[in-house]
Amino acid sequence: PYVTTAAIMDLHAMQDEANAAYFRQNREQRFGKRLEEVEAARDAGLGAFRASLEPLRSMLAYQPFIGGQSPLFADYIVFGALQWARIASPYR
């Protein structure tokens, strides 16, 4: 997901030396490229990510939660992902 790739180098920087080596090896294998290359693409993907949130924004303009008047599990999933990204990375 975009939020993970946008924060990838910030997440790497949070690790101690041993975990950073594992994190890098594991993620580079998963993405098929160096972490720096993954991070370099984040600005290019930002517009598409913001556009993908537009249906959610439109819905929340006329109701307070995804499920209507009270939160559902889906609200917590979306909030959790966005809150995690907000505190894991200064990238906006």
What is the reported pLDDT for 91?
Answer: 87
pLDDT tens for residues 32-62?
Answer: 999 999 999 999 999 999 999 999 999 999 9
Could you tell me the pTM of the whole model? 0.79
- Could you give the domains of the chain? 2-88 (1.20.1050.10)
3-state secondary structure of 9: helix
Q: Which residues contact 49 (CB under 8 A, 6 or more apart)?
A: 2, 3, 6
